[in-house]
Structure 1
Amino acid sequence: MESLTAGKPMLTWPMIAKQHLNARYVANILGTGVRIALKAGADVVGSVEVEKVRELMDAECKAVKRMRERAALAQQAAKSAVSHGGTSVMALLKLVEEP
């Protein structure tokens, strides 16, 4: 998720644990990335995965432009959350102030 705070789309390649959930969230819900999934036991990246990488690198692709726009919005939201009075700052203050 760190790349979203920089306003960059993500190429996700989940391997273990929550990475699969995060990859789906980034690609399907946020619309800020592309998910690559290898078949179990596969040692070689297939042509479908290579094409996804090429697509993400194509600055003229409409889908990539949308991803970049959405990533920029995520960046703004992240900056807002950690700024003075932002939701992350307020949640941390609330946690620290609780008895």
Structure 2
Amino acid sequence: MAFVFLIPLVMTLVALYFFTKFRDELRYLSGSIAGICFAVSVSLAPWEALLLFLIPALVITGKGIQKGDYKFHLQSIQKENERKNKKKRKKRR
């Protein structure tokens, strides 16, 4: 397996470190460099490494979707309860 993809990946980590330390324009520049290096790293990575990137991404995304669904469901229940309360108030008048 070729490990050439590790060079831009390490550059990505270094750029992200600088992203947390810098302010203003240098921060945006280091973030841009990190994004470009990560894209190059992913394009050079063999399928085994991409699979290792993909599994945690799917797990994290799945948990995020479940939490988002729960929040959406909770909001719809709250809106429904508000409508019922408004109807009850109108009937009382």
TM-score range, shorter chain: 0.3 to 0.5
**Which structure has more helix as a fraction of its residues?**
2
**Which structure has more strand as a fraction of its residues?**
1
Largest Rg, 1 or 2: 2
Using CA pairs under 8 Å that are at least 6 residues apart, name the structure with larger relative contact order, 1 or 2: 1
Normalising by structure 2, what TM-score?
0.34
Normalising by structure 1, what TM-score?
0.33
